[in-house]
Amino acid sequence: MMQGGPPTPPPTSATEQLDAARDAALAGVASPQPATAAPGPPAATEGAPAVSQAQAGPAPAGAQGDVYQRTFPQIAALVSQGKYSEAAYVAEVTDLNVEGDASPSRLLVIAPLVLSYLIIDDLTPAHHALMRLPKLPSTALVSHPLTQALMRLLASTLERKYENIYARAQEIFLLSQQGHLADPNLAQLVASMSQTFVESFQQRTFTLLSKAFTSIPLSEAQAYLGMQQDQLLSIANAQGWKFDSATQILQPTAPTQIGTSAGSQGSSSLGTFGVVANGLSRLMTEA
């Protein structure tokens, strides 16, 4: 007679592998393994990026910068293909094995890691990634303008402070253009990903507004979407929304799936949906 249920199948998707890698790393922190018995990376599966032992294993002291330099091209290549979940997987496995490093070069992994999670609207692991950074604010990594800007963007996104979200994303884009990042390849990647985040966030928000409201003032829709009037009306018209110029009221129609270059989720969670509905009252109160 069989005892218990069937065996748990191994993780197959990039997300499942990422969760498994994170759990394994956290277990290693709770029960440290001998230096000679460091666990290897999860087995690669079709559709998930392969992570070499050099990338996944703990970096020797003084060589962590090399780990970031080796891993960054793989992350950048995945981002260029719109594979944000896979990029997050590679970056996360690397970062979990350099915990405690306060070198600014860690931004080669942290920045695309957090931005990838923001693009696919997976905010909890983005928060965990930033919380893993050294706690002393005086360290060059934590006090770096990009690290601080990522923290502000994530905080605004978690709270769905819509007007702040677009300003924070613009702040990150400007940092990439003003010489604050020593690595030009990182600057280019951050610029691209910050713009992709705005586009993906606007697309999700547009879909949510279509579901949440039968009518909405134009000014409120602009606050949610961070768009100028002409841009918003053009997109709304393309999606079948109606606009009354006399009352300045938009009337959404049943939502259609808006294509996204980020390959992200088509809609957010029910919790996010509730925040959208409640946000209108807050914006109207503050107006």
Residue 20's pLDDT is 54
DSSP class of 58? P
Residue 229's pLDDT is 95
Residue 256's pLDDT is 54
Residue 282's pLDDT is 44
Domain range summary for the chain, segments of one domain joined by +:
14-29+45-54+64-200, 202-286
Give backbone dihedrals phi and psi of 272, rounded to 5 degrees, phi first: -65, -40
Residue 138's pLDDT is 77
pTM of the model: 0.70
Q: Tell me which long-range contacts 46-54 makes (C-beta under 8 A, separation of at least 24).
A: 47/13, 47/14, 48/13, 48/14, 48/17, 48/86, 48/89, 49/14, 49/74, 49/78, 49/83, 49/86, 49/89, 49/90, 51/89, 51/90, 51/93, 51/94
Copy the structure tokens of residue 218. Answer: 């134009």
Residue 64's pLDDT is 54
Per-residue pLDDT tens digits of the chain, which is 287 residues long: 445 444 445 555 555 555 554 554 444 433 333 333 333 444 443 444 444 333 334 444 445 558 999 999 999 999 999 999 999 999 999 999 988 899 899 999 999 999 999 999 999 999 999 999 998 877 889 999 999 999 999 999 999 999 999 999 999 999 999 988 989 999 999 999 999 999 999 999 999 999 999 999 999 999 999 999 999 999 999 999 999 999 999 999 865 554 444 544 433 333 444 445 454 444 434 44
What ranges make up the beta strands (E) of 104-163? none
166-191 as b/e: b if 16+ CB within 10 A = bebbbbbbebbeeeebebeebbebbb
Copy the structure tokens of residue 88. Answer: 């997050």
* SS3 of 63-86: CHHHHHHHHHHHHHHHHHCCCHHH
The rounded distance, in Å, linking the Cα atoms of 278 and 267 is: 17
Copy the structure tokens of residue 108. Answer: 């080669």
The rounded distance, in Å, linking the Cα atoms of 253 and 269 is: 20
First-to-final CA distance of the chain: 68
Residue 135's pLDDT is 82
DSSP class of 143? T
